[in-house]
C-alpha cells in the first residue's frame, strides 16, 4: 500500500483535480446551453425568434418575412429553428427554460394550457392595436381562460376532401352533398378501379381529422368542444355512432393506412390512383405546377341535417411571447408586424397552401385553393382547431392516437376500444 506514495504527489493530484473539475464544467456547458434558447446578452437591438417551420418551403417563407421586418424596424431577428415535431415535444421544457422572445405555437386549447400555467406573455396591449384586423372567432381562439390574449394568429388552413378536377370531369363524378351521396360516389369509384379515399395514419394524427369531421357532422360543434374538454363520455352512444359511420366508410379507404405517411397518400391522389383525400390544405405542398391547378376540394358532406355543413376544421398557427422576454419592446413590435397583411402576404407568397388570418389581407395573389379556403372559412358558422389542438395533449398524444389506430386495425372492436379511451380520459381529465 505504501508503494502508492509518489515523489510529487500533491502536484499530480491537484492537476488531476483541476482536470476533473474542468472536465465536469465543460461537460455541463452544452447541457445547460441546450436548455435555453440562443444567447441573449445585450439584446435591445435583437429579437430572438423560435421557429418551428423546419421544412424548406415554409422556412424560406418565414425567413423572408423576418428579413422584411428587419428592414422596416432596424431591429435584428435571431432565428432559432427546430425540427417541427421536436419543437412540439420539447415545448414544455423550452417554455420553462429561456425561450426565445417570440415563439411559434398554435391557437386553442394548446395555447390556453401554457398561458394558464403562466409560461407565456400577455399580449392584450398588442391586441388592442391589431385587434381590428381580426374576426371575432380568431380573437376567441387567441384568448386564454383569464380573458387576456396570448397569441397573434398568423396563418390558417382548412380541412376538406381534396380531388383532381380533370379526373372527376373525365369520369363524370360530382361533389357529394350528403353522406349517402359520398358512399354512392365511393362505390362507383371502386367499380372504376380507383381507391375511393386515400388514407395514411403512420404519423398518428391524420385519422384524427377524419374523426373530427364525422363527429361534428353527426353531433355538432358543441359536442366536439365538450368531448374534447373531457365533459362528455367516450362510451356514449353519440361517439359510438361516429365510429359506426366511420366503419361504414372504412372499406372505401386505402388499405394499410398504418404503414403509410400522408405524403405517400397525397401522391396516390396525384397519380390518379385514389379518387379523393381528406386532409388539411397543406396537402397542396405535394402538388406542383399544373397538378396544383388541377387540385380542388369540398367541405365534408352533411350527415345530420340539424348541423349541416356549419362547422369547418381550420387550425390556426401563430406566435406567442415568452413570459420574460429579453427584449419585450422588440418582441411586441415583431408580433405587431406579424399581424399586418403585408407580413402574412409575404409568407403566403412562398408557401401558398394556407391563408392569411387578418381580414384585410391582400388576397389578389391567392391561387384557386387559397381562394376557396378563404371562402369556406368565411362561410363557416363554427371553426374547430383539430383534435390534438382542442384537447389535453396528454389525452391526444397517447389515448386518442392509439385508440384511433386500434380502431383502424380492428374496426369490429369499437366497444373495447372506446372503453379504453373512456378509462384513460377519466384518469386524465380528473387529475
Partner 1 sequence: MTAVQDKASGQADPGGTAATSPPPYRRTRRATALPSGDKLVLGLMLGIPSLVHVLFVWVPALGSIALSFSSWDGIGGFEDIEWVGFQNYVDIFTRYPRFWPALQHNLIWLVFLLVLPTVAGLLLAVLLDRQLRFGRLYQSALYLPMVLSLALVGFIWQLIYQPEQGLLNNLLGTADDHPTNWLGDPDINLYAVLVAAAWRHTGYVMLLYLAGLKSVDPALKEAAALDGASAFQTFTRVTFPVLKPVNIVVLVVTVIEALRAFDIVYVVNKGRNGLELLSVLVTDNIIGESSRIGWGSALAVVLLLISLGFIITYLFQVFRKEERA
Rank residues 4 and 412 by Cβ distance to partner 1 and give the closer one. 4
Q: How far is the CB of 130 from partner 1 (least distance, A)?
A: 27
Q: How far is the CB of 264 from partner 1 (least distance, A)?
A: 8
CA distance 29 to 20: 14
CA distance 66 to 347: 10
Question: Where do we find the cell 425568434?
Answer: 49
Rank residues 142 and 424 by Cβ distance to partner 1 and give the closer one. 424
User: What's the DSSP call for residue 302?
Assistant: B
Beta bridge partners of 104: 319
CA distance 116 to 109: 10
CA distance 154 to 355: 9
Rank residues 9 and 365 by Cβ distance to partner 1 and give the closer one. 9
DSSP-derived secondary structure for 231-251? -S-TTSHHHHHHHHHHHHHGG
CA distance 324 to 45: 16
Angle between helices 56-73 and 328-338 (to 10 degrees): 120
Rank residues 126 and 387 by Cβ distance to partner 1 and give the closer one. 387
Question: Angle at CA 209, nearest 5°, toward 205 and 214?
Answer: 140
Rank residues 342 and 428 by Cβ distance to partner 1 and give the closer one. 428
CA distance 348 to 284: 13
Residues that bind partner 1 (CB under 8 A): 1-2, 4-5, 9-10, 13, 17, 20, 88-93, 96, 110, 113, 117, 119, 202, 204, 255-260, 392-394, 397-398, 401-403, 405-406, 409, 417, 420, 423-424, 426-428, 431
Rank residues 140 and 261 by Cβ distance to partner 1 and give the closer one. 261
353 in Cβ contact with 282 (< 8 Å) = yes
Report which of 320, 318, 340 is spatially closest to residue 102, judged by C-alpha positions.
320
Q: How far is the CB of 132 from partner 1 (least distance, A)?
A: 32
Rank residues 10 and 74 by Cβ distance to partner 1 and give the closer one. 10
Rank residues 113 and 150 by Cβ distance to partner 1 and give the closer one. 113
Reduced 3-state DSSP string for 159-205:
EEEEEEHHHHHHHCCCCCCEHHHHHHHHHHHHHCCCEEEECCCCCCC
Cell of 119: 409560461
Q: How far is the CB of 421 from partner 1 (least distance, A)?
A: 8
Q: How far is the CB of 69 from partner 1 (least distance, A)?
A: 28
Q: How far is the CB of 30 from partner 1 (least distance, A)?
A: 16
Instruction: State whether residue 141 is helix, strand or coil.
Output: helix
Q: How far is the CB of 366 from partner 1 (least distance, A)?
A: 32
Q: How far is the CB of 241 from partner 1 (least distance, A)?
A: 22
Instruction: State whether residue 316 is helix, strand or coil.
Output: strand
Q: How far is the CB of 425 from partner 1 (least distance, A)?
A: 10
CA 291 remoteness from chain centre: 25
Q: How far is the CB of 322 from partner 1 (least distance, A)?
A: 15
Report which of 110, 114, 104, 106 is spatially closest to residue 314, judged by C-alpha positions.
106
Rank residues 2 and 174 by Cβ distance to partner 1 and give the closer one. 2
Rank residues 103 and 361 by Cβ distance to partner 1 and give the closer one. 103
Q: How far is the CB of 420 from partner 1 (least distance, A)?
A: 4
Question: Where do we find the cell 394556407?
Answer: 354
Beta bridge partners of 156: 316, 355
Question: Where do we find the cell 363527429?
Answer: 215
Distances (CA, A) of 320 to 77, 106, 114, 336: 15, 9, 10, 11
Rank residues 125 and 423 by Cβ distance to partner 1 and give the closer one. 423
**Phi, psi dihedrals of residue 314, rounded to the nearest 5°:** -145, 80
Amino acid at each position: 500500500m505504501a508503494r502508492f506514495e509518489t515523489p510529487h504527489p500533491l502536484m499530480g493530484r491537484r492537476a488531476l483535480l483541476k482536470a476533473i473539475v474542468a472536465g465536469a464544467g465543460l461537460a455541463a456547458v452544452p447541457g445547460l446551453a441546450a436548455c435555453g434558447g440562443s444567447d441573449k446578452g445585450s439584446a435591445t437591438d435583437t429579437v430572438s425568434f423560435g421557429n418551428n417551420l423546419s421544412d424548406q418551403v415554409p422556412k424560406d417563407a418565414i425567413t423572408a418575412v423576418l428579413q422584411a421586418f428587419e428592414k422596416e424596424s432596424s431591429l435584428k431577428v435571431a432565428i432559432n429553428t427546430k425540427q417541427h415535431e421536436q419543437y412540439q415535444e420539447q415545448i414544455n421544457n423550452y417554455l420553462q427554460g429561456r425561450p426565445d422572445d417570440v415563439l411559434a405555437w398554435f391557437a386553442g386549447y394548446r395555447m390556453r394550457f401554457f398561458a394558464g400555467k403562466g409560461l407565456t406573455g400577455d399580449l392584450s396591449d398588442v391586441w388592442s392595436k391589431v385587434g381590428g384586423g381580426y374576426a371575432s372567432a380568431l380573437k376567441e381562439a387567441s384568448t386564454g381562460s383569464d380573458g387576456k390574449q396570448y397569441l397573434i394568429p398568423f396563418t390558417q388552413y382548412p380541412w376538406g376532401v381534396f380531388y383532381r378536377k380533370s379526373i372527376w370531369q373525365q369520369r363524370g363524378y360530382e361533389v357529394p352533398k350528403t353522406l349517402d351521396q359520398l358512399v354512392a360516389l365511393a362505390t362507383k369509384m371502386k367499380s372504376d378501379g380507383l381507391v375511393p379515399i386515400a388514407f395514411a395514419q403512420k404519423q398518428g394524427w391524420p385519422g384524427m381529422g377524419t374523426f373530427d369531421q364525422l363527429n361534428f357532422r353527426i353531433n355538432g360543434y358543441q359536442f366536439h368542444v365538450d368531448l374534447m374538454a373531457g365533459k362528455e363520455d367516450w362510451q356514449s352512444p353519440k361517439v359510438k355512432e361516429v365510429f359506426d359511420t366511420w366503419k361504414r366508410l372504412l372499406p372505401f379507404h386505402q388499405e394499410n393506412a398504418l404503414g403509410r405517411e400522408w405524403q405517400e397518400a397525397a401522391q396516390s391522389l396525384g397519380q390518379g390512383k385514389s379518387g379523393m383525400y381528406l386532409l388539411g390544405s397543406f396537402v397542396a405542398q405535394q402538388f406542383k405546377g399544373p397538378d396544383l391547378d388541377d387540385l380542388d376540394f369540398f367541405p365534408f358532406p352533411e350527415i345530420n341535417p340539424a348541423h349541416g355543413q356549419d362547422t369547418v376544421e381550420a387550425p390556426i398557427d401563430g406566435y406567442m411571447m415568452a413570459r420574460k422576454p429579453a427584449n419585450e419592446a422588440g418582441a411586441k413590435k415583431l408580433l405587431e408586424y406579424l399581424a399586418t397583411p403585408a407580413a402574412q402576404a409575404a409568407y403566403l407568397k412562398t408557401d401558398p397552401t394556407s391563408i392569411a388570418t387578418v381580414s384585410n389581407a391582400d388576397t389578389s395573389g391567392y391561387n384557386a385553393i387559397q381562394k376557396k379556403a378563404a371562402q369556406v372559412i368565411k362561410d363557416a358558422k363554427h371553426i374547430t382547431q383539430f383534435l390534438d389542438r382542442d384537447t389535453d395533449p396528454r389525452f391526444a398524444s397517447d389515448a386518442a392516437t392509439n385508440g384511433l389506430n386500434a380502431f383502424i386495425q380492428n374496426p369490429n372492436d369499437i366497444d373495447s376500444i372506446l372503453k379504453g379511451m373512456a378509462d384513460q380520459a377519466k384518469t386524465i381529465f380528473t387529475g
